[in-house]
Structure 1
Amino acid sequence: MQIKNFKVDQSLKELTSHRTVVMPVACYETEIAHNINGKIPLHWHEEIQFVLIKKGEAMFQINEEKRMVSEGDGIFINSGCLHLAEDVSGDCIYICLNVSPHFMLPQELFTSNIYPYIQATNLPYIYMNAYDQWGKNILDSMIKIKSLIQHKPPFYEVDISSQLTFIWQQLIMNGFQLEYDRTEVEKNRRMKEMLNWIHLHYVEKVPLNDIARAGQLSSSECCRYFKRILKTTPISYLINYRIQKSLILLQDPESNVTEVAFKVGFNSTSYFISKFRKSMDITPSAYKKERQAK
């Protein structure tokens, strides 16, 4: 099922429930352009994620790194990593498999065969090339899991569990050298704290000093964090976040542009319109009319 209104909490943790009725597993097909934001916005979740590009091409950012993923290939995104996805080809469709790390293998094997990998700071993602046999095996298993969830044949839950075990085996058999860098862990924590503060206070006046204080950083170091990790400034991120929040409000038939502008933290309608047009390539009023026509 396509998730069009992508919901996250103040810390950017995704609120979507990634599970079937009985299992902490979700597998669905997503067309990036159909998301309310026109992309998959920055977020994170405890589940590990496997993505298979079914059509087109997408750019994924995972923590500080960006990686293009081509049609037929895929990417593994580790637990707790900030990530987003943007449609590069204009028609990108991908299959997404989200699984609780605790469900990948029997609990007795979690400590030795799962935990070290989801804690490793040098494995925010792994590219899965369909030309590599192990990568192809994982991608094929994803398709099987999607079919099992869709058709629910007898004992399909057992089959899914078997496929997940096989996927994890294929992933870790490559012998990755695992690293644990406390500095990276702390950096990730500080970044989430600053984002959380912005998301709690975006409708207010937001001074740079307050954002920095949330991450226990100086203003200059705060700016370096945003530039290095998110490739933007704290204030630019704030403005973009306000615009993303305005998209939902603009779809309300009773709303108007001025009201929406003030509700999401802009103190000038003209400034809101200018920033909205720059970000979305359309004015707020035109966006509102376009959405109501659908």
Structure 2
Amino acid sequence: MQIKNFMVDQSLKELTNHRTVVLPIACYETTINQNIHGFIPLHWHDEIQFVLIVKGEAIFQINEEKRMVREGEGLFINSGSLHMAEEKNHSGCVYICLNVSPHFVLSPELYTSYVYPYIQATNLPYISLDANELWGKNILNAIIKINQLIQQKSPFYEIDITVQLTLIWQNLIINGFQLEYEQTEMVKNHRMKHMLNWIHLHYAEKLMLDDIARAGQLSRSECCRYFKRILKKTPLNYVTDYRIQKSISLLQQAESNVTEVAYQVGFNSTSYFIDKFRKSMNMTPLSYKKCKMNDC
């Protein structure tokens, strides 16, 4: 089984190159449990994203909300929305992921009127795509078609893709969503990304709650409320979980040892690292390392 590492920068912006050679899009199949973490970690990107579950089921978290998506269903995830995904009930979830630069959805002349207002709206972090609704079915079928077009690369396939993207966007906005632009929501999202960015830059150091709160220009109590509301955990618990995530790739390096990895990712006690790793991964760091070395 191929294990894939999901790359993000310090602000959680995904580093995947969301484009082909000639098109500002990417379309690929993702098997959730093949990720190095066993799930798709929290991230965001400028591109809009369309998801279609082709096997199993998954739980997606988009900003503060969680949504279960079953086989044959999908999601639209808006530009800039924090999101993550984990498979449900060990279902071996596989989904098609279509990422598109917002500027490529429609022509420049139409972008200002028909795309920009939607990606800026604060009440549309995501939209569920239901195959039982005609508009949803049209979008899901177009995702499949684009995936096929990119794989086959038949003559003029780029033009065919633009036709399918226009169809997708028309079916999405035809519902007449009442768009909202709440300044408080924009500020909240901005502050959360600042705090996460600060943690990801300094996770290997000694971190204090005051430092995290200061990065988001919040009080300690308000900082905790942000994390509890959006990530369902305390800021310092998030730090611990993030350190465990960073340790996973280090443990897979043949020359690494558990003690060195523990201190590299910010733990000041090997025993504490082992305890937290065991609770998170259901095995010790050494057992994990041996398992990965033996490809078990």
TM-score, normalisation: structure 2: 0.98
Map of 1:100-119 to 2, 5 A cutoff? 100-119=101-120
Q: Which residue of 2 aligns with 1:60?
A: 60
* Count of equivalent residues: 293
SS of the residue corresponding to residue 138 of structure 2 reads helix
Shift of 1:3: 8.3
The ranges of structure 1 where at least 4 consecutive aligned residues each deviate by more than 6 angstroms after the TM superposition are: none
Equivalent runs, 1:1-294 vs 2, <5 Å: 4-90=4-90, 91-294=92-295
Decide whether the 8 Å contact of 2:28 with 2:98 is kept in 1: yes
Give the Cα separation in 1 of the matches to 2:210 and 2:170.
Answer: 47
**Structure 2: runs of 5+ lacking an equivalent:** none
Contact 1:3 1:30 in 2 (8 A): no
Letter in 2 for 1:71: E
Aligned counterparts of 1:137 and 1:246: Cα–Cα separation in 2: 42
Q: What does the per-residue CA deviation read over 1:28-64, in whole Å, with 9 as the maximum and x for residues that have no partner?
A: 0000000001000000000000000001110000001
Task: For residues 95-133 of structure 1, give each alpha carbon's deviation from its aligned partner in whole angstroms, at most 9, with x where no partner exists.
Answer: 000000000000110000000000000000000011111
Structure 1 runs not aligned, ≥5 long: none
Structure 1 CA distance for aligned equivalents of residues 155 and 144 of structure 2: 18
Please provide the CA RMSD for this pair.
0.9
What SS is found at the alignment partner of 1:117?
A: helix
CA contact (8 A) 1:78 1:118 kept: yes
Q: Equivalent pairs: percent with the same residue?
A: 72
Aligned partners of 1:11 and 1:195 also within 8 Å? yes
User: How far did residue 89 of structure 1 move?
Assistant: 3.0
Q: What are the Cα deviations for residues 233-291 of structure 1, in whole angstroms up to 9, with x where unaligned?
A: 00000000000000110000110101000000000011001101111111111111111
Task: Name the SS for the 1:200 alignment partner.
Answer: helix
- Checking the alignment, whether the CA contact within 8 Å between 2:3 and 2:36 is kept in structure 1 is no
SS of 1:61 mapped into structure 2: strand
